[in-house]
Every structure is written in structure tokens, then in C-alpha cells.
Structure 1
Amino acid sequence: MQRYPLFVAVSLGLFAGVTVSTTSAETSPLEQQLKDLESFQVIAHRGASGHAPESSMAALELAYEWEADYLELDIQLTSDGELVAFHDDTLERTSNGEGRINDYTLAELKDLDTGSWFNDAYPDLADDAFIGTEILTLEEVFNRFGQDARYYLETKSPQLNPGVEAALVKLLEAYDMINTGRVLIQSFDQQSLLKIHALNADIPLIQLVWYSPDEKNEARLTEWTGVTPGPEEITNEDFLAVAEYAVGLGTNYLYDGEEVINESFVRQAQENGLAVHIYTVNGTDEMQQLIDWGVNGLFTDYPDRLSELVE
């Protein structure tokens, strides 16, 4: 699938958050991954989750078939220390279970049905094959797609998943996903990303941010965790501080239908060494607008739609 290069200001040297070791004049797989981030990336949000239950093998298979650049998943820990792909902190929305996912063993979670809810929520897309869908371990995902896919993994709610960083890095190393340029790690939690960086400085990181009106002053935008100032107040130094450990910024661009960032924000981030990925964009008009802004990638539930726009 051809990609349009969308920014030229970022070179490998500007991705300061990643230490790349190579003794060869040839481009290493990890260097190639960083270079690819200069071009547009189709990021399949929980797989092709507009077509099949989120984070399911069916959704991942579709995204893979449609040649998405990254399979995106939220990673959590079971009570017995297994890494699983599941978005919510609690089970109710996308399974027939209840309570916190972290309170259950993998065996207990495997007994749940994480597909029937999709048939109920989207009857036009219902498929009997989704009934009884099992929660996936990250190891199962790697065993299926291996080095044939790239993975965009979030350390989800790290305060509820103590030890998730060490467990994730251990598995990535065991499956040789880092030096082969197969993985990005994302988080809203800056400390979680810094833990990942301390464990293995070669892993490319994405700092997630969420911009919304300040509760005390709706005319002023703030970032949810305080990792940056609001878009109207952000400086080159603020972007550079993120670029010390991360190769990119994952951000919303709308809040309640109103834009919270603009093309100037995107350019400024890129000029300070950060790729810009926008979540989660499903309408083709919005996709095209952001492509025209020059963003480096979009999270979408419909990778098929997005791929058609950037072919």
C-alpha cells in the first residue's frame, strides 16, 4: 500500500526518545520503523472494531487483511499475571462478566463471552461466529501474526495493573518484537512510559494526551494528566520535553464536536521531533481533513475506509 510522506522535518536523529544501536551501514529494522513513522500510518483501533467485536481475533484478522500498518490494543494484567487485550477496567460493557478485569485469572476470563454484546449493539453486523468470542492474550496475538504485523500497544490503567510494564517488556523481548521494529508502546501515563524506557530504551513510545475545557474556565483548554499545557499555551520546549522519551504524540482533535487542536499544532509538534497520531477517527470527511493537515497517522475503527483514502 503506497503512503504519502507527510512531513520531512523529522529525521531519525530527532527521535531522541529511542536509542538505536547498529554497527552496520545498512538500515536496521528498528531504524526503518522510525523512518516509516514519517509517512502516514493506518492504525486499526482495537482491530477493525467497526466490523467485529473490539480486540477480538476476528477484528484483528480483518485489519491484517486490509493491510493496516498497526494493530492497536489495550494491554492489561489478569490476577495471575497474564497479559490480555481488553480496553475497559471493568467487564460489563463488552462481555457477560462483571467487576474489574484485574480481579480474575486468565482461566476465569476465558470462560466469558466477549462477542455477543457486539451482535446486540450492532444487529446489522451481527454474526453467529462472534458468539462465545474469548478474550485474547497478547501471546496469542503474537503467535497468530508474529513478525508479519506491527503492534501499537497501550499500558492501560497502569495504576490498576501494577507490573504491566515489566511483564510487557519481557514478552516483547521474548518474541523479538523490539529490534525487529514491530512495536510501539503508548500510554496516557507518563510514568508508565518512563518505566518502559528504563527497562528497554529501544522501544519507541507514544505519549497519549487528551485536551478538553478546563472545569473552572471553559474558555481554556487543558490536558487531562497535565503532561503538556493546553494547545493554545504549548511551546516548543513542551514538545521537546515529550520528545526526550517519546517518538510521537497521540491526541484527540475534537471535544464535543469542537476542534481542540489545529494544523499549526500538528506542524509544531512535528518540527520538534514528534509524529502526530489522532484518535479515533471514523468519518471519511474527518479523515481527509486530518490527512490534509499532514498528520502522521489516524486511529480508526474502520481501517478499510482509511486505507482507501491513502492508497
Structure 2
Amino acid sequence: MTLLSRSPFAAALALGLAAPLTAQADALEQQLADLQDFQVIAHRGASGHAPEHTWPSYERALEMGADYLELDLHMSADGELVAIHDETLERTTDGEGQVKDHTLAELKALDAGSWFNQAHPERADDAFAGAELLTLDEVIERYGDDVRYYIETKSPERYPELQRALVETLEAEGLVASGSVVIQSFSRDSLQQVHALNADIPLVQLVWYSPAEDGEGLTEWTGVTPAPAEITDADFQAIADYAVGIGPNVTFEGEDVIDAGFVEQAHANGLLVHPYTINERDEMRRLLDWGVDGMFTNFPDRLSEVVE
């Protein structure tokens, strides 16, 4: 049956349903188009200037021209998605133990800012003391789809419920449809779970290259790819089956683990390249010369200036 042969009500209903679907497709296409341009990814916010994953860090990142706010997610004992990098509390709060063993109320009672003043006295600010850990819901409530989010999931073995909870939250808030989110992970299993839940979400496979235990060459932390010297087009294509990009470390203990050829080969196989975590201007310029498509940085102000 053609649209013209339907009743006027049915035709109007069909057109009404088509409009939001078209708008969603346009928003997702625009996000993918924007990703072809260079992206400034604020690593845990402007975490070189303020305590990571706190309001001051996020606010400063946006003021400094970040294209994406990067968030690491863990789950509380009562199932809330919490923005914190480590699975334990000691480094960035005055708490102890694993995030997953504490309720949200217990996590909210912690001081997530004073550590920064102690670690970075040259950038200390009395206002950082007492900063709270934030939930994903709180971040979305503040910024909505005015901001783009680059979210890292952790191992599904640690949080088997995280992938579904995250996707359901993003869908409910309209952030997938508005082209507002990228999801990254070192865990291929985690990314493939997300892809199965919603194939519209752009995914980035993180990789970490370091010397092999036997001292012979390099190895990738979770075995996603072979060493860069041995990587093939098929290895990149295996990632491209579910992801739009790859996020590698560039150096290990001061020595390069990838080169411009790695970037070129990834591009040849349809993958964006977003290296992490790049904080020095000279290194930013070097990677721009390699043709990378974005960088994670603790100093989005520096990267924005270099890109300009």
C-alpha cells in the first residue's frame, strides 16, 4: 500500500512518525561528520586545572573549548553510575576501598577535591575542597544535549549491568538520538555489548601498547590487536566492524609505541584515531602532523590554542 492510498489519518500519522526519525538520523549523521574534524577531548574534564570528574573540571573544560567531556564510569553498590576513574577511592577522595562496595550516599559524603590541592599546590583553589563525586544523571541533568560526552565503560566482568544501564540512560535522555555521545573502552566485550544494545552509538576501541614480558617487542594489554609492528589491515577491520575509531597510547616510558604509519593504516581502514593523554604542546603538534583526528588532554586550553 502506498502512502497516497492510506486514509488521511494514517498518512498524517506516518508523516508524524517519520519526522522525528529523520531528525534523529540527521543528528547522528552530523555527529559522524563532526568527528571527521579534529576533536578536543577533555580528559576527565580540564583535569590539569581542577580535580578530575568534578564540576570545576567540567566547567573549565567547556570554557576552554572542549568538543567532548570525557567521563569514566563505575557503579555504586546500589547501582548508580558514578563518574570516577579508579575502581578504588584512595587516589581522588578521602575514602577507602572499592567504588562498587559503597552506596551512592556513602560516595556522596566523600571529599573528591582536596587531594588536588595537595597534589598540585601551584593550581590549588580553596573552592575545590569538599567537591562531590558526580553521577551520570547529574551531569546529564546539568548539560543535557548542549554538550557531547565521551564515556568510558569498564570491564563487564566487574560491572555486568553497566552497559545496559548506560545505554538505557542515554536513550531515555535522548542523547543517542541527538548525536551527543561516544562510548570508549579497553574492553572489546563491553563495546560489543553496547553495539548490540544500540548500533547507532559511535564506539572507540582503546588500546594500550607496552613491552612484552619476554622483552621481545610490544604487546597490547587486552589482546585486541597484535603489536603495532605486526598489525594488519584485517586487525583494523575487525575493530571497524563495531567501532568508528581507535584510541591508542603514543608512548610508553618516553619511547614511541606507534608512529605516523599506524595512523595512516587506521585511516585506510576507515578508523578515526584519538590518542591519549597528550598534555605538552610539542607532542600535540607532532601528532597533528601525523594526522590524528582528536586527542585526549588534561589541558584543553593548550590543545585548543595549538589547533587554532
Q: Report the AA paired with residue 143 of structure 1.
A: E
Deviation at 1:24, TM superposition (A): 5.0
Unaligned runs of 5+ in 1: 1-21
Paired with 1:176 and 1:303, the residues of 2 have a C-alpha distance of 26
Counterpart for residue 196 of structure 1:
194
Counterpart for residue 62 of structure 2:
64
Q: Secondary structure of 1:279's partner?
A: coil
Q: Secondary structure of 1:278's partner?
A: coil
Report the identity percentage.
Answer: 62
Paired with 1:199 and 1:25, the residues of 2 have a C-alpha distance of 21
Paired with 2:234 and 2:142, the residues of 1 have a C-alpha distance of 42
Task: Assess if the C-alpha contact under 8 Å between 1:71 and 1:152 holds in 2.
Answer: yes
Counterpart for residue 108 of structure 2:
110
Paired with 1:299 and 1:247, the residues of 2 have a C-alpha distance of 16
Paired with 2:22 and 2:94, the residues of 1 have a C-alpha distance of 52
The alpha-carbon distance between structure 1 residues 106 and 262, as it changes in their structure 2 partners (threshold 3 A), is: same
1:260 to 253, 257, 262: 257
Counterpart for residue 302 of structure 1:
299
Counterpart for residue 208 of structure 2:
210
Task: Assess if the C-alpha contact under 8 Å between 1:205 and 1:247 holds in 2.
Answer: yes
Task: Assess if the C-alpha contact under 8 Å between 2:236 and 2:266 holds in 1.
Answer: yes
Counterpart for residue 285 of structure 1:
282
TM-score by length of 1: 0.91
Q: Report the AA paired with residue 225 of structure 1.
A: T
1:170 to 168, 171, 175: 168
| Large movers: runs of 4+ above 6 Å | none
Q: Which has the higher helix share?
A: 2
Task: Assess if the C-alpha contact under 8 Å between 1:43 and 1:297 holds in 2.
Answer: yes
Deviation at 1:158, TM superposition (A): 3.0
Q: Report the AA paired with residue 97 of structure 1.
A: G
Q: Secondary structure of 1:43's partner?
A: strand
1:123 to 108, 113, 121: 121
Aligned Cα RMSD in Å? 1.6
Q: Secondary structure of 2:275's partner?
A: strand
Q: Secondary structure of 1:80's partner?
A: coil
1:225 correspondence with 2:222:
yes
User: Based on CA coordinates, which of the two structures has the bigger radius of gyration?
Assistant: 2
2:266 to 265, 269, 273: 269
Higher relative contact order (CA 8 A, sep 6+): 1
Counterpart for residue 249 of structure 1:
246
Paired with 1:175 and 1:303, the residues of 2 have a C-alpha distance of 26
2:49 to 51, 56, 62: 51
Q: Secondary structure of 1:225's partner?
A: coil
Deviation at 1:109, TM superposition (A): 0.3
Task: Assess if the C-alpha contact under 8 Å between 1:83 and 1:138 holds in 2.
Answer: yes
Superimposed CA distance per residue, residues 209-247 of structure 1 (whole angstroms, 9 cap, x where no aligned partner): 00111111x241111100111100001111001000000
